């Protein structure tokens, strides 16, 4: 999944369907979420420093602080610094720009001979201008 495309696609859809009341409030962290199964609509209550927001659905787009909002994920989601280098590509690989992305998955493994640990998940996207 490409998070940027997901979020911008959702924003475009919400703006089109709710143009008179749609807003994006940046730098407004959600500090708590509660759920009321007895309510017919807007069962989620999101607490923010600017006030309460009620919603039918919630998408959690967080980082290492996920378990602060979802205690059941404590010990399952943890901070991890990933890296993503930019590299020149082989001349025979065409520039697909934003149309394609690739991922490679294998079981994580440790090589005792080199002391190298591979996490097993690699992905590639291309810069639409350079192809890198």
Global pTM?
0.54
Alpha-carbon gap, residue 132 to 18, rounded angstroms? 38
Q: What is the pLDDT of residue 82?
A: 66
Helix (H) or strand (E) holding 52: strand 51-55
Lowest mean pLDDT among 1-5, 7-11, 50-54: 1-5
Does 45 or 116 have the greater pLDDT score? 45
* Radius of gyration for the chain, computed over Cα atoms and rounded to the nearest angstrom: 20
Looking at residue 75, its pLDDT comes to 80
Q: pLDDT tens digits for 7-50?
A: 889 999 999 999 998 888 889 989 999 999 999 999 999 999 99
Q: How far apart are CA 101 and CA 130, in angstroms?
A: 15
Confidence band for 122, pLDDT divided at 50, 70 and 90: confident
Q: What is the pLDDT of residue 89?
A: 76
pLDDT digits (tens, 9 = 90+) for 54-105: 999 998 877 677 888 888 888 877 766 666 677 777 778 888 877 877 788 8
Rounded average pLDDT over 99-125? 81
């Amino acid at each position: 999944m490409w998070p940027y495309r997901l979020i911008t696609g959702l924003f475009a859809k919400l703006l089109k369907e709710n143009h008179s009341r749609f807003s994006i409030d940046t730098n407004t962290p959600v500090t708590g979420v509660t759920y009321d199964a007895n309510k017919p609509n807007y069962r989620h209550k999101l607490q923010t420093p600017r006030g309460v927001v009620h919603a039918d659905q919630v998408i959690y787009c967080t980082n290492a602080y996920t378990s602060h909002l979802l205690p059941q994920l404590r010990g399952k989601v943890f901070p991890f610094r990933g890296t993503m280098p930019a590299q020149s590509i082989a001349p025979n690989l065409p520039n697909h720009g934003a149309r394609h992305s690739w991922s490679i998955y294998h079981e994580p493994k440790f090589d005792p001979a080199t002391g190298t640990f591979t996490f097993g998940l690699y992905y590639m996207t291309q810069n639409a201008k350079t192809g890198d």
